[in-house]
Structure formats: structure tokens, C-alpha cells
Chain A
Amino acid sequence: MQDLGIQILFEGNNFVRLLGGLWITVKTALTAVVISLVLGILMGTLMTLKNPVVRILTRLYLEFVRIMPQMVLLFLAYFGLARAFHINLSGQLSALIVFVVWDTAEMGDLVRGALISIPKHQYDSGRALGLDNLQVYRYIIIPQTVRRLIPLAINLTTRMIKTTSLLVLIGVVEVLKVGQQIIEANRYTAPSGALWIYGTIFFLYFIMCYPISHLAGRIEKRWQN
């Protein structure tokens, strides 16, 4: 009997399995975001230093990570590390490393941008009021930096979540892989499964990323001044 094919989603625990796959993606992205938020702030502060050696090194790091497609970085971590140092990482762990390395660079650049966007007179007027260095940062610089940073950091997070879809290519069983498994398993009973499964995954990503990027846009508008 020909059927619509949509019921492939509701057979057995297919939908729950898809969500489970999605969770692996999200977990990787969020773990990486949390780690690299900390590292990124350090990195961004390092980038504002005047020391030429630090400057060149951080710059090289940033440019390399920026120019290489994330896919290449994943390959380097997954195949390259195993080959060069005989470190055998699971797909998920190497993905986590790549995301942390990548996100730290991007976050560092955002932090740097936010820090240098604070005009110098803000520091000066803080000192003129008799605040010490710590107080200037605590009450004047950090609050302003954070306001500029948060929308950008949220946008970066949605980028991370979207990029985690690449995990399937280094053998992590995440949402796309689960989708493939379901499609293969039901090849004969639901021939049009691919349409429904991939369509569902498409919308799952959308449902996940849209609220986050919407939130970023709203925060940005509200905090514009």
C-alpha cells in the first residue's frame, strides 16, 4: 500500500531517537560555548595587549582558524592528531576540541572588539573620579563590554549549533546520522522517508536556532545605547 510516508516519524521511537541525536549536537555545542566563553575572554584580553609577540601569535591563531573551513579543522583533529601523535580521539571529543579552538578565537575577537570600542575617556573619567584600576573595570568597563558582547556571543552560539551538523562527517552518531539510520531501516516500508526525515531535521534546527537569534536581535536593539 502506498502511504504518505510521514508516519515514519511516529513509528516506534523514531522521533525520540531523532531528538536524542539532536541532543548530542546541542550538548557538544553548549559545552564548547561554555569552555570557550572563559577562554575567549582571556584570549580577547591578551589580544588587546601591546606586546608585539603576543599580538602576532594571537593574530596568526585567529586568522588561521578563521580562514580554515570548520570541516578542515575537524579533519585535522580527527585524522591528523591520530596520525601525528597517535592520539585516538573519538569523533565527539575531537569535535569538542575543534569547536573550543574555533570558538575561542572568534570569541576572543569579539571580546577584543568590545574592549577597544570603549572610548578612552571612559577610563579617564573613571580615574578622574578617584576610582582605582579595579573599580574602573568593575563599574565602568566590564558592564559596557558585556552589553556589547552578549548579542554577538549569542549569535556565535547559533553559528556553533549550525556547524555541529558537520559532526556526522567524522562519524559521530548525531541527528543526521540517526536520520540516515531510520531511513535505511525503513527503506522498503517507507520509500519516501528521506523527504520527511530530512525535512524534520531541517525544521528541528530552525526551531532551535530561530528563538536564539531572535533573542540576540532583541537584546541588541534594547541595549543599543
Chain B
Amino acid sequence: MIKYTPLYVEAAGRTLRIAFWGILFSLVAGLVCSLIQYFKIPILKPLTSIYIELSRNTPLLVQLFFLYFGLPKLGLVISSEGCAIVGLSFLGGSYMAEAFRSGLESVEKGQVEAGLSIGMRRSQIIRYIVLPQAVSISVPAFCANIIFLIKETSVFSVVALADLMYVAKDLIGLYYKTDEALLMLVLSYLVILLPISIAASLLERRLRYAGFGHSDTF
């Protein structure tokens, strides 16, 4: 078992690196999409709606198959890692957008009007009133999405990426080390996800105070 530990550590590192980029891009994509939806920008709004529905209602695995095996037929070849990051961002973007949109929508209209009445500009209202509250309200959903996305990385082995599942499958297939491989697999995911999950619930507890004007969030 000790002999194979480096394999798992390496695979976990690779998984985490891809998860990091995927989550980063999906946060950015989510923010952009939700702002487009919130301000009802013409043309872009229906496009983002279509994107959100498409990516929320299809499994990541099928998206990856399409990216990795389908697109090369159009002459668009993406590496395994590229596929994994693009796929994860494509999936995550819509989840993050939904999370952030509900945050934006929960900032009451009265708050914006209050800002207007003390003479703030539109950009100032967004910067100082809407965004801080919206972000703090949507943090729990963000955290849930981050954990969800890291879990979703477990399907990357299908695009020939040597992640944790891939290593485990290899060990089972090559050496019949089923018990050890599975135990290590479970342990690796626990080591990755347990701290994040605990940190998320701590963060959530702290941020609950930020919900100003929402007696129900206390």
C-alpha cells in the first residue's frame, strides 16, 4: 500500500489542480452569467439562459464524451486536461450562476432605492450595496457547488486523465489489489473533501451575520 501512495498523491494533486482551474473559471462564468441575467441585457440574456439550462440538465460525463470524442471530428482537438477543465467549467458555470442569481435576487429593492435616495450612482449601488450582500448570501451555495464540482472530477478518467479513479482502476486491473486500491481511493477523497466540507460549514456560520435586513437568515 505504501508503495502506491505516491501514485495516489500525484493523482490527487492532478485532480485538485484541475478542480481549482475549473472552479475558478466556473465562478467567473457564473458571475458574468448571473449579472447578465440580473441586468436583463438584451440578446445575451436568452443566450445565457439557454446555456444554463443545457449545462444543468446534462451529465458531465456526456459533456466530456462530446468534448473529447465528438469535437475532434470537427477538427477541434482538445487535450485531456483541457477537456476536463472546459467540461468542469461548462458544468460549474451554470451552477454558480444560479447560486449567485438567487443571492442577487434576495437583495431587496428597498436597498437599491435607499442607495438612490442618498444620491449614489448606479455603479456605486452595485459596488457598495448589492454585491456585498449578494455574495455573502450566496456563499453557502458556492461552497456546496465547490464540493459538488470536486466530486464530479471523479469522472475524468474517461477522457484518459490519470486521476484518482484511474489509478484505482489501474491497480485493480493490473495487480488485483482491489481492497487496497479501494481503501486508498476512499481515504484520498476523504482527505480532500472532509476539510473543505468542514471549512464550508464554519464559513457559513460566520457569514450568516452579514444578511442585513433579512430577519429569517438569523
Contacts and interface: CB of A to CB of B under 8 A. Distances in A.
Interface string B146-186: 01000111110110000001001100100000110010011
B83 to A, nearest CB: 12
Given A67-B193, A70-B151, A165-B61, A195 B182 contact: no
A42 interface: no
Contacts of A5: 73
Contacts of A199: 66, 70
Interface string A168-203: 110000001001000100000001111111110110
A79 B170 CA distance: 13
Interface residues of B, number: 39
Interface in A32-52: none
Contacts of B70: 194-199
B14 to A, nearest CB: 15
- Main DSSP-derived SS at the A contact region: helix
A72 interface: yes
A195 B58 contact: no
Contacts of B165: 71-72, 75
Interface in A53-76: 63, 66-72, 75-76
A171 to B, nearest CB: 12
Contacts of B172: 79
A76 B186 contact: yes
B190 interface: yes
Interface centre among B57, B154, B169 (most CB of A within 10 A): B57
B45 interface: no
Interface in B70-87: 70-74
B59 interface: yes
A205 B66 contact: no
Contacts of B65: 176, 179, 198, 201
